[in-house]
Amino acid sequence: MQLTFFQNREFICHWPGCKVKTTDRNQIEFHHISPRELGPRVNSNVTLTLCPTHHRMIYHPESTKGPHSINSPNKLQILHIYPVAPSGYAVEFKRFNDETFFECYDGDYRNGDIENDNEQQ
């Protein structure tokens, strides 16, 4: 049996404060930092994992359709992902009121080339 990238991997929701962790790929969604609707771009395959509830609460100003195109006070925008030494990364978020903040995580955010027809983005 050949192992795939997703087998035996624990996924987390990157929404600040969310405690969802799962090894079940069907209980997590991949959010493309650059919306796929905008076509190929630099970092177009960079994704973060989010639980289904919080995936719909991400706002992207360039998105023209779906839940990511609508901004509201309870939504967040992902501005950037920064590597942090020795083995982590920080995600820069922006709130509706333009306040920015960082959340830090251990491990590697790179998920490879993710394609999923069930995603909302």
pLDDT, tens digit, 9 for 90 and up, residues 18-52 = 999 999 988 999 888 877 776 666 555 678 999 99
**Three-state SS annotation for 5-41:** CCCCCCEECCCCCCCCEECCHHHCEEEECCCHHHCCC
| Contact in structure between 28 and 11 (CB atoms under 8 Å) | yes
Domain positions in the chain: 11-106
Confidence of residue 117 (pLDDT cuts 50, 70, 90): very low
- pTM to 2 decimals? 0.77
What mean pLDDT is reported for the chain? 81
Question: What token pair was written down for 64?
Answer: 């023209």
| Contact in structure between 54 and 41 (CB atoms under 8 Å) | no
Confidence of residue 86 (pLDDT cuts 50, 70, 90): confident
Q: What is the pLDDT of residue 43?
A: 59
Q: What is the pLDDT of residue 112?
A: 43
